[in-house]
Structure 1
Amino acid sequence: MRPSPAEIVRTLVAGRLPALVHLAQRPGPHQARHVTDPDGRVLLLVPVVSDLAAALVPPDGDTEVATVLDVLDLPPAAGAPSLGRAWVSGWAARLDGDEARRAAVDFATVQPTGDLLDVGTRFHLHRFEVVEARWERAGATRRIDPDAYAEAEPDPLHAVEAELLADLADHHGDQVGAYLRTRLGRTGSEAGGPPRVVRIDRYGLLVSHGRPGARRRTRLAFAAPVADPAELARLLHPMLCPRAAGRA
């Protein structure tokens, strides 16, 4: 099992990575703080006095502006592959009143910030429903069905993936190496060093192994998708603490 393209796009645009905003017939791009709400709609937190705020003012007679959010994955560790780039687009409109207050709660759930207290004065929230989504990786671009995008869920481990990988490498290196050798059917030492986990998602581990200059990557799937970091910790406990697991 592995993440679907729709899940990858939802993960990339969830709000944990930096983003650029492109607006139709406007200068840009613009850096922006953003998240997605439970329905996958994009929320932009925009300073009232900014180039982006000025660009988001609709033309006369309109209430929305054609908007594209552009997010590039940042590999969580050296040697880790990128998940690629996501582009989602729709028609952004400014939120006011109760709508803005409910959207601020959705924003805070993903990315808490004190600036949300100033929505309506120093900041405005803009929102758009995704009507087109694309996923770009390894030079190829794939269109994602908007309904599949809306139904997908962001990966619950993506926000803490870098910390998880660092912990495995720094504090459990010997145990992880032994476990991975067993799963990969390898024995003894390797010229390229022990196998190591380079990415983690809710479906499994991506492992780098092999000789220098000929490293390979292999996915090791979990028996079932994990729901959160706590469930991942329980799943990995036998690998990290084999003696304790054997006494259980």
Structure 2
Amino acid sequence: MGPSPAEIIRTLVAGRLPGLVHLAHRPGPHHVRHVTDPEGRVLLLVPVVSDLAAALRPVDGDEDVAIVLDVLDLPPAAGAPSLGRAWVSGWAVELGGAEARAAAQDFAAVEPTGDLLDLGRRFRLFRFEVAEARWERADDVRRVDPDVYAGAEPDPLHPIEAELLADLADHHGDEVSAYLRRHFGLVADDPADAPRVVRMDRYGLVVALGGPGARRRARLAFPAPVADHAELVRLLHPMICPRAAAG
């Protein structure tokens, strides 16, 4: 079992990856600083003096602007497969007063930037509820119901995935390789079957089999989805501690 399309979209648009926004009938795209709040609504932190701020200015009496946020996954390590691309769209509205202050707290929970202290002067916050969500991977596009998207959660390991993979490779490489060889029944010390962990999520590990550039991959599922880093460490203990694995 792996993450659902809704969970992947929530993970990609959570705010840890660079985003582009496209606006209907306006020039673009524009780079944007964004996060999502606990309900999955998209928050945009926009400089007052910018092309994006001008493009988000309503025209013809409209109070909101149709917008699409486009986020492409950045694989955390060489040879790691991409999670693909997420597209979420809705109608962006500028926030003010108490709404802006509450949204700034949601933004800071993901990206604690000092620029939030300049809201109303140098920066503005915009928000939109997701009316359409799409996940694109390997030329396959899947639409996700907005309510399903809103009910999903971003993966808790994604923000530290690159760090975790580097730690496994740099400090526990031999133990991890030996464990994976046993698990998948691979011939010991055969370079053609050298296993490496190339991605991880709350549901398990993605393992590449073979040397650099190899495309054979397998999934090692956890007994249950992990909630945080501490729970992941407990699950990985038998992998990095041969004595625990033997027990």
Any conservation in 2 of the 1:190–1:211 contact (CA below 8 Å)? no
Task: State the SS of the aligned residue for 1:192.
Answer: helix
- Runs of 4+ that moved beyond 4 A: 211-214, 244-247
* Other-structure match for 1:185: 185
TM-score, normalization by structure 1: 0.96
Matches within 5 A, 1:43-54: 43-54=43-54
Which residue of the partner structure matches residue 176 of structure 2?
176
Aligned counterpart, 1:228: 228
- The 8 Å contact of residues 23 and 68 in structure 2, kept in 1 or not, is answered as yes
Alignment of 1:136-215 (within 5 A): 136-192=136-192, 194-210=194-210, 215=215
Correspondence 1:23-102 to 2 at 5 A: 23-102=23-102
Query: How many residues are treated as equivalent by the alignment?
Result: 247
Distance in 1 (CA, whole Å) between partners of 2:135 and 2:38 is 20
Higher deviation after alignment, 187-196 or 87-96: 187-196
Three-state SS of the structure 2 residue aligned to 1:175 is helix
Question: What do the CA deviations read for 1:68-126 (whole angstroms, capped 9, x no partner)?
Answer: 00000000000000000000000000000000000000000011100011111110000
2:10 paired residue number? 10
Deviates more, 1:209-218 or 1:139-148: 209-218
1:119 aligned residue: 119
Gaps of at least 5 residues in structure 2 are: none
Q: Give the distance between the partners of 1:212 and 1:204, measured in 2 at CA.
A: 21
* Equivalent position SS for 2:133: strand
Q: Deviations over 1:123-175 (max 9, x none)?
A: 00000000001111001111111111000000000111000110000100000
Q: Is the 8 A contact 1:191 1:212 kept in 2?
A: no
Give the conservation status (yes or no) of the 8 Å contact 1:192–1:212. Answer: no
Does the 8 Å contact 2:208/2:214 carry over to 1? no
Question: Deviation digits for residues 187-231 of structure 1, max 9, x if unmatched?
Answer: 311233620000000000000013677541000100000001111
CA contact (8 A) 1:86 1:134 kept: yes
* Structure 1 position 241, deviation (Å): 1.7
Instruction: Please state whether the residue corresponding to 2:22 is helix, strand or coil.
Output: strand
* Aligned equivalent of 2:218: 218
Q: Which residue of 2 aligns with 1:21?
A: 21
Q: In the aligned structure 2, how far is the partner of 1:159 from the partner of 1:236?
A: 18
| Aligned counterparts of 1:38 and 1:240: Cα–Cα separation in 2 | 34
- 3-state SS, counterpart of residue 39 of structure 1: coil
Deviates more, 1:213-222 or 1:109-118: 213-222
Structure 2 distance, partners of 1:44, 1:175, is 43
Give distance in 2, aligned partners of 1:213 and 1:72. Answer: 21
**Amino acid aligned to 2:165:** L
* In 2: Cα distance, 1:245 partner to 1:193 partner: 21
The residue identity in structure 2 corresponding to 1:161 is: E
Separation in structure 1 between the aligned mates of residue 246 and residue 80 of structure 2, nearest angstrom: 32
Percentage of identical aligned residues: 76
